[in-house]
Amino acid sequence: MASRMMKTMMDGLGELRFEPTPKRVRAMIGGSPVVDSTRAVLVWEPRRVVPAYAVPTEDVQADLQASDAQGSEAAADTGYSMPDLTHVPVLPPDIPFSVHSTQGRVMDVRTATQERRAVAFELSDPDLSGYLVLDFAGFDEWLEEDEPIVSHPRDPFSRIDMRRSSRAIRIELDGTVLAESERPLIVFETGVPVRYYLPREDVRATLRPTPTRTTCAYKGEASYWAAEVGDRVVDDLAWSYPAPLRDAGDLVDLVCFFDEKVDLVVDGVRRDRPVTPWS
C-alpha cells in the first residue's frame, strides 16, 4: 500500500529526531566565536517542527555549567493545532527553547565577559550522548560556513518553490474585496499553506504599516500591514519582505494576506481557511 510522503515524515513527529549536517557551524557572543563545529547535527525535539543545532561539548569554547534556571516540560496540550499535518499539537519556533519535550539537562554558557543562562541542553538520549542542543536566540550570530543564518537553522527536508502564475486571485473579508490579481507569485513551502504574493498595485484595500516584524530563515525579515475593511482596521492582516534574503529576492515588496484570516478565491473557487499557528 502506498504511503503519502508528508504523512510518513509527520508520523515521527513525536520522536526525538536528528540529522548530521556537513556544514561548518559557528555561533558568536560579543563578536567572538563560542561554537565552532564541523560535527554539528540538526535536532528536532519531539513535536518540534523546525530544527536546532546541536554540537559536541568539546566544540563549545566557553565554560558550561548546569543551570539553576531549569526549563519546563512541554505538556501534552502545549503547542498549536495543524490538522492538515498531524493530530498532535506542534511546537513551532515561538514556543521558547526553555520548553523541552525530551530528557536532558539545562546548561549555562559562560565566556570571559558574558553569561548566557539556559541556552544549552545536554541530551540524555544515548544516540546523542555528548551533544548539546543550542538556543538559536541565545547567541548573537550564527554562520553556516561564512554565510549568516537568521531565525533558526534551515531544514534540509523542507523547501520553498516560488512560481509566477496567471491564476485569478481574489482576497475578501466580510464581503469587502481587498485585492484582485492575475499575476501572483505563488510560494509553495513544505508544511505551510500555499501563499499568494500580489503586486502592491493589485491591492485595493488601504494598507497601513504596523510595528510588527518577524524573521523567516528562508525569506528574511517581514514587515506587516493593517488593512482598512469597511469602517474598521484589521491589524497585521498582510505582510511584505522589503529586503528579502538573496534566495527569495523575487518577493521584494509583494503583499501576502493571511489565508487563515481572509477569504481566498482562486480561479473562482473559494478556499477553506487553513488551521495553523497563525489562525
Q: Which of 235, 236, 161, 167 is nearest to 198 (CA)?
A: 167
Question: What is residue 182's predicted lDDT score, i.e. its pLDDT?
Answer: 98
With cell 523547501, the residue in question is: 159
pTM recorded for the entire structure: 0.92
Which CATH architecture fits 160-270?
Beta Complex (2.170)
Cα distance between residue 21 and residue 110, in whole Å: 26
CATH topology of domain 5-149: 2.170.150
Question: What is residue 69's predicted lDDT score, i.e. its pLDDT?
Answer: 83
At residue 256, the 3 state secondary structure works out as: strand
Interval 134-157: pLDDT, tens? 999 999 999 999 999 999 999 999
Report how far apart, in Å, the C-alpha atoms of 109 and of each of 32, 53, 113, 119 are.
13, 15, 11, 7
Question: What is residue 70's predicted lDDT score, i.e. its pLDDT?
Answer: 78
Mean pLDDT of the chain: 95
Range(s) within the chain of domains with CATH label 2.170.150.40? 5-149, 160-270
Ranges of the chain with pLDDT below 50? none
Question: What is residue 204's predicted lDDT score, i.e. its pLDDT?
Answer: 97
Question: What is residue 238's predicted lDDT score, i.e. its pLDDT?
Answer: 98
Question: What is residue 4's predicted lDDT score, i.e. its pLDDT?
Answer: 86
Q: What phi and psi, each to the nearest 5 degrees, are found at residue 128? A: -125, 30
